[in-house]
Structure 1
């Protein structure tokens, strides 16, 4: 499951409705917001959360609301009357500070409850089991970290997730966006520090490999290119790559959908379809060093390999048998490690866009 964020410091209006509809169309199914509110904004936030809940229901989005002790009451709601929140379209509460195990256990029988993945302890889980909490409705959510250098360590994060999953809990974490950044620091909202300046899809795929079940975009928006990449991934499990073609490159050979071979090579991604295509004899081109991200096509000097298309996963020397016909845009090179066995990928020229 993938989700995105909308923050209540913004008005919930027609533009918001368009944004939520677009994210649903791209393939996102979860929505996250926070109800940490200043005193003078309480009535404003109550109005906005009701509108957001309505939009979430209309778009069939799960809506998780981050709260701390007293936040619901400030907005005019009650932890003792969760049915009102469910009716509004709120499907879950991330309950961090200020809630007893008894309250959490009781709430878990009425709606989804998110706990702090980084701080939850074995004794607290034991207590929740003693209180007969509904673990089918419990999940654990890592924080995002607005301040640079404070995001989580990779090895610690992986070990923590291994334990949480052994306890039967689903794990959620955040990736940064590459559109509008959330203030005041506007330095991204990742869970892992190493993801702070990553391509969003790279961060998402990495989290999946680290045992994360639910990936949420922390920042308010994604760029048009990232939306297109997520649309391809969520809709077709396809990795979309932008490239630049050199002179004399055959668009029909390079552009379009390819699949990596089932036997994954160390140095290159090998298009399994490319040699099956009927091609005219591929004449050798002037030598070029095969840098990381280079797109190559084997020429006639390679015999039966002629026509094979490859993407270079590392710097390789020039080879007279291999024509360098283009290259991936720099930021998309970071997606190469995620093109595994039989993985579908698509090469498109330069920038890509998605639904407007």
Structure 2
């Protein structure tokens, strides 16, 4: 994950509220903004420039890039030709996302636009469209991709299709963005349907930071964008604490941590041992660092898939190892169960492959 982003929809709210949201996001290190011209109705090109340019300038002053969702019919309506994108330069936009495209050659030529705008392609099609564009020698320094979001419940992408699309795009060495969405009441997107906004259907009702952790775990997503408005300050802060490029895990604690357990869980670097077992992913180095810590036996129940276990004093030289259980096991008085993954995040266990680093989020 390279960057975090938000979305804004000026046609649906006040400039003051949007500016406050930009301020909140910038404070927590967000650097991207998605917006949409597909949903803007009844405005001329000059009116759009007059309305949107001040917000774009405001975003730039706070170190944020802004890309607008468009399609060929929208460009035609605005009088914008594919080979003259000066309208977006006049808006002070940084790029455009083509929700729908042309035939391949056109998109490749658009990346060579003299305005220096980013051309972002729809990453969700999975039909060879992007490979076709790349066969026409685009300027890849101005070419990226971004998945769709889906306002209708049960219409989001399947994980299988998502992974196929991403594998195809990564083979072309292009960056990929994807959307997550808040399920809080009162959130909205560009359209009147508000059943949550996300790229993956399985994410629709999950907490925002859980969606982000699952996307990071895929290892193919460069940018994560919040699709709907408005994420809370608490949600923005939680996302800002995630570590990009590393598997982020957040167990539900089952007991108060002993000082030694706290150090093992939160204060030590972790990676999965290379000689991985079918039963657990082991982080062994804490046992060396905290060899002199006392860890008393507590909560030594049966071990279930997704449990987080720290070995206690009864395990001698192995005391202090952190295990993440991948296959059920009997209870062991030498193993303290300190917590477990939420059921909806058990898919993260697939990402516990040999040598992969991971962090534990509070």
Match of 2:310 among 297, 300, 314: 297
Cα distance 1:222–1:52, how it changes in 2: closer, same or farther (>3 A)? Answer: same
Secondary structure class of the residue paired with 2:302: coil
1 CA distance for matches of 2:347 and 2:232? Answer: 17
1:49 matched to 2:52? The reply is yes
- Measured against aligned partners, the alpha-carbon deviations of 1:89-111 in whole angstroms (never above 9, x if no partner) come to 31111234486767645542231
Q: CA deviation at 1:213?
A: 4.0
Instruction: Please report the RMSD computed on the Cα atoms of aligned residues, expressed in angstroms.
Output: 3.8
Distance across 2 between alignment mates of 1:286 and 1:234: 30
Among candidates 217, 225, 247, match of residue 216 of structure 1: 225
- Residues 181, 197 of structure 2: 8 Å contact kept: yes
Say if 2:108 and 2:133, in contact at 8 Å, map to a contact too: no
**Secondary structure, counterpart of 1:9 in structure 2:** helix
Cα deviations by residue, 1:253-302 (Å, 9 ceiling, x for unpaired): 22523313433444334343431214455443464222344343323332
Aligned residue for 2:325? 312
Matches within 5 A, 1:160-239: 160-167=165-172, 169-179=174-184, 181-182=187-188, 184-198=192-206, 199-206=210-217, 208-209=218-219, 211-222=220-231, 226-234=235-243, 237=246, 239=248
Deviations, residues 47-98 of structure 1 (Å, cap 9, x unaligned): 4422331122112222110113453576797767634533543111123448
Structure 2 residue runs of 5 or longer lacking an equivalent are none
- Contact 2:281 2:352 survives alignment (8 Å): yes
The answer (yes or no) to whether the contact 1:175–1:203 under 8 Å persists in 2 is no
TM-superposition CA deviations, 1:172-221 (whole Å, max 9, x none): 33233355643543322222333333421234225x43x44443332334
Equivalent in 250, 254, 261 of residue 253 of structure 1:
261
**1:173/1:215 contact within 8 Å kept:** yes
| 2:141 paired with 1:136 | yes
Asked whether the equivalents of residues 12 and 51 of structure 1 are also in contact (C-alpha less than 8 Å), the reply is no
Normalising by structure 2, what TM-score? 0.75
CA offset digits 1:123-162 (Å, max 9, x no partner) = 89657866x7534323333322211222233333433443
1:240 Cα deviation (Å)? 5.6
Query: Any unmatched runs of 5+ in structure 1?
Result: 349-356
Pair 1:36-2:50 in alignment: no
2:8 aligned residue (6, 9, 20)? 6
The verdict on how the C-alpha distance between 1:279 and 1:39 changes in structure 2, with shifts beyond 3 A counting, is same
Partner of 1:215, secondary structure, is strand
